[in-house]
Structure 1
Amino acid sequence: MRYIKYVTFVVVALLSIAIGSAQEATGIRFFKGSFAEAQAEAQRQGKPLFVDFYATWCVPCKKMEKTIFTQPEVGAFFNAKFINLQLDAEAPENVEIAKKYKIEAFPTLGIIASDGKAIQINVGFMKADELLEMAKTAVGEVKGFDDLYKEYRAHPNDLKIQQELLTMAPRFLTTQDGMDAEKWVVRVRKIYKEYLSKKMADGSLINKKDYLIISNLGGDDADEVARVVEYINAHLDEWIAAVGEPAAYYVIEKNDERMLELVKKGDESYKTYLEKIRTDYKKAYDVIKFKKVTPYQKSVDYYGALYAIYKSKDVARYIQLMSSYLDGLGEDANAADYGIAAQSLYNAAGNKLTPADHKQAIAWLQKAIPSETVLMNKINFLVMAGDSYRELKDYKQAREYYNQAYGESLLMGDAEQAQQMIQASVVYKLSTLELLEK
């Protein structure tokens, strides 16, 4: 009986190993070793590198690892065509490599020639079909940017070629450096402007591909952005049918950005764009649902508060309107709303704040801190609260908030450079408290 049980156990264990190996084999097999070792292996096999630049704290990175890299079709292609490597971009031994390829956000997915030259760089989460398209383009199974640009030069009025070229442009531009980057940015901007004009004229702009092109390449030219906003707003029902509510949020985002820019300059013309919320852009803003307040009234209070403090440093008026704004949001107010209220107070008024102003900032921050989920924001809010308590000469409370900020920084994982900068700043603030207390 014991023998049978032992054999059964061994069979089950072997089956588990076999199943695990089979599952592993269906996805991408990643090289075990350093970047230099992977590059040497790529040179030996005559293949490019696929590098998953990740950070240990990055949630989309983990999602890609579990849901995209494990797919059989993805694994089959990448295992055949590339040497695949996962690289913790914030680990000390990889920092210089990350700098070389301008890794500033995660996930960043790079296809790199065996000689080290970047072929394709993509920032952000990618679906399986997007990842495969990127890979197939890199190995020449799908037309690359250079090929499409040649086709564009031969057929400058072919909108289909322009659409493919502009769709691929953001990834291509991330691989360019110095003068080459500047040259290609100018070329892409010129094509983009011409493309927009033609597609607006013939009414063929309203589709998902063109919306992504606008989202990725629009934004440098204020007049051009305004033109796109007006076009989307004028055809909002068709845009929403084609791409969903993001079309409405595009109008909202750009209008809000314009108001914010103007109020920070103390320019009263922001009210022109404020009025559009209940007139021209009402249908777009109607996608925002608050329990107690309308988007218009919310914006009246919020931008009115910012205008008061940036234009005339009227802190009392700012606090009155910002409090009205937060009260109007009610249950819809989140940590960011309270944190930004305090941050704007510091940014615009600075050393002109009275003890009562600091107490108000602390009250807002105390509502923001418990529910803030973004670690860097939470640390920032804690430090701001500590600063206000220091100004109030409540050094005990200031020390508690600084110490809590330092404690939160310990959770930053392998983001060592940022962690060290934050900790050095907090230690300095703590040391100044000792001098102030003497």
Structure 2
Amino acid sequence: MKYIKLWLVILFMGLLETVSAQITFFEGTFEDAVAKAKKEKKYLFIDFYADWCEPCKQMAKKIFTLPEVGEYFNKNFVCCQLNAEAPENKTLVQKYKVNALPTLLFLNVKGEILLSINGAKESATLLHEAKVVMGEVLSFEKLYEKVKKEKKNLDLRQELLLQAPAFIGTQEGYNREKWVIRIGSLFDSYVADKTLDKMVNPEDFALLVMFHQQKDKNDPIFDALVRNYQGYVEQVGKTDVNRYIISLYNGYIISLCRNGKAEYKQELERLNGDLNQIYGAIPFGELTAFEAVNFLADGYYNLYRKNLDVFFENMNKYFQGASATLTVNNYTGPVEDLFSLYQGNIPENAYLKVIPWLEKALSFPRMSVQLRSRVLCLLGDCLKQTGDSVKAKQCYNQAFIVSAEIEDKQLMVQLQKMIQSRLSTL
């Protein structure tokens, strides 16, 4: 019995820790929260939300519940959640110009805004802004001024660049454009001054991912990544490094194909050279990496030249050879691209050819409800065009049922209206 009681005590304490490891929001009026802040000599953190606001719900569910967020905010702020649509908060909404949700405000006890954040943010960004308010770290603007004065301080420049995307995301209009240009120039000078071979570390890898998102024809950054591949794998991890290199390379190949540049063939020779250390380890079923990527590239090159017979021939060779390793996106991507190229009205003989791809995509058990709804609609469109109105109706009805599970209610309503419109034409 003694041990049971001890176990219950431990369990209860664990539950208390779980409850306290999140932001504790003050239950009361705004005026009461201000009074509490004055008494405890703290600033206020205000979360303006609405019941229908999906980003608000995600912040409440995934960010405010994090232990590191709860611990810091409970220690330094009186936290208060206010429904922006509640009548009693109308004056506050007008006073603080709450035009977007969520709106997150840091206030002093006089009710003056210390810092304002529009829209949902990740935990790191929210914590950083809170620390700026508390004077524990420099604001982005002040850090930028410090960087300009200490031009040889690469560590300081690195710190600023790491913070830049989150800061730029809070800017609008001219200010946003101004900071994009400034930070782009700062990144270029940082790479030049530090040199690429000395950037083999997690922080600089993060900067490359942030600021170098497209491969160029003669790309020193991409070549340095490949040259220092093993070092990056040791410092960052194989999964993240492979994902980044492959996204750059595949994106470049697709851009060449899309623009009708046959030099993609020459570029693909790297798969048998320095890129083999990356692509050679990727499973492509019965195909080699070189064969698989060539089928894909040839397919897309001919798609954008509107040589659809060659497009379908190459894609089917790819699907057949690599079928065991493919994901749902491998099947849906080419269909989406085809419909996009033809603005939704693909040639009549193409509908029958994409139906097996869509049916294969639907066979995957794990798929977001939004994507499944979209694929069912596309399949319904294809079946309708081939004259099979019975199966088309079944697809549209199934899409309507699936779409009801979409969390974003506004998106759900829009999609269901579109589905009903399609059903009305059968």
Normalised to the residue count of structure 2, the TM-score between the two structures is 0.80
Superposed, 1:330-341 pairs within 5 Å as 330-341=323-334
**Structure 2: how far apart are the matches of 1:430 and 1:233?**
51
Normalised to the residue count of structure 1, the TM-score between the two structures is 0.78
Post-superposition Cα deviations, 1:148-193, rounded to whole Å, max 9, x if no partner, equal 2121121112111101111111111122222222221211111111
Shift of 1:388: 0.6
Superposed, 1:309-324 pairs within 5 Å as 309-311=303-305, 313-324=306-317
* Residue number in structure 1 paired with 2:72: 77
Change (3 A) 1:227 1:116: farther
CA contact (8 A) 1:173 1:181 kept: yes
Q: Larger RCO: Structure 1 or Structure 2 (Cα < 8 Å, ≥ 6 residues apart)?
A: 1
* Residue number in structure 2 paired with 1:238: 231
**Structure 1: how far apart are the matches of 2:417 and 2:381?**
15
* Residue number in structure 2 paired with 1:3: none
Q: Which amino acid aligns with 2:233?
A: I
1:397 aligns with 2:391: yes
CA contact (8 A) 2:282 2:289 kept: yes
Give the SS at the match of 2:382: helix
Q: Which amino acid aligns with 1:251?
A: I
1:182 aligns with 2:177: yes
Give the SS at the match of 1:290: coil
Superposed, 1:260-409 pairs within 5 Å as 260-311=254-305, 313-349=306-342, 351-355=345-349, 357-371=350-364, 372-409=366-403
Post-superposition Cα deviations, 1:357-407, rounded to whole Å, max 9, x if no partner, equal 322211111111132511221111111101111111211111111111111
CA contact (8 A) 2:56 2:120 kept: no
- Residue of structure 2 aligned with 1:412, choices 401, 406, 413: 406
* Residue number in structure 2 paired with 1:211: 205
* Residue number in structure 1 paired with 2:414: 421
**Structure 1: how far apart are the matches of 2:193 and 2:233?**
21
Q: Which amino acid aligns with 2:299?
A: A
CA contact (8 A) 1:118 1:175 kept: no
CA contact (8 A) 2:106 2:116 kept: yes
Q: Which amino acid aligns with 2:382?
A: S
- Residue of structure 1 aligned with 2:248, choices 225, 245, 254: 254
Shift of 1:257: 0.4
Shift of 1:116: 6.1
The gaps in structure 2 that reach 5 residues or longer are none
**Structure 1: how far apart are the matches of 2:31 and 2:220?**
47
**Structure 1: how far apart are the matches of 2:64 and 2:116?**
22
**Structure 1: how far apart are the matches of 2:360 and 2:97?**
37
* Residue number in structure 2 paired with 1:191: 186
1:30 aligns with 2:30: no
**Structure 1: how far apart are the matches of 2:55 and 2:325?**
31
**Structure 2: how far apart are the matches of 1:164 and 1:397?**
57
1:173 aligns with 2:168: yes
CA contact (8 A) 1:379 1:405 kept: yes
* Residue number in structure 1 paired with 2:146: 151
Identity %: 23
Post-superposition Cα deviations, 1:24-75, rounded to whole Å, max 9, x if no partner, equal 2343213458xxx669946973624265988489999856566xx2x3x543
**Structure 2: how far apart are the matches of 1:30 and 1:79?**
9
**Structure 1: how far apart are the matches of 2:320 and 2:301?**
19
Post-superposition Cα deviations, 1:66-115, rounded to whole Å, max 9, x if no partner, equal 6xx2x3x54332112234467999xxx9xx99995587xxxxxx853335
Change (3 A) 1:60 1:113: closer
CA contact (8 A) 2:33 2:80 kept: no
**Structure 2: how far apart are the matches of 1:87 and 1:296?**
57
Change (3 A) 1:238 1:25: closer
Shift of 1:342: 2.5
**Structure 2: how far apart are the matches of 1:52 and 1:238?**
46
Post-superposition Cα deviations, 1:222-271, rounded to whole Å, max 9, x if no partner, equal 54993211111122122222112222332221110011112122222222
- Residue of structure 2 aligned with 1:141, choices 125, 136, 144: 136
The gaps in structure 1 that reach 5 residues or longer are 1-7, 104-109, 434-438
**Structure 1: how far apart are the matches of 2:361 and 2:199?**
41
Change (3 A) 1:23 1:57: closer
**Structure 1: how far apart are the matches of 2:118 and 2:100?**
8
Change (3 A) 1:241 1:342: same
Give the SS at the match of 1:237: helix
**Structure 1: how far apart are the matches of 2:388 and 2:415?**
22
Tell me how large the CA RMSD over aligned residues is: 3.9
Shift of 1:408: 1.2
Range with bigger deviation, 136-145 or 181-190: 136-145
* Residue number in structure 2 paired with 1:106: none
Post-superposition Cα deviations, 1:196-219, rounded to whole Å, max 9, x if no partner, equal 111116x42111111111112223
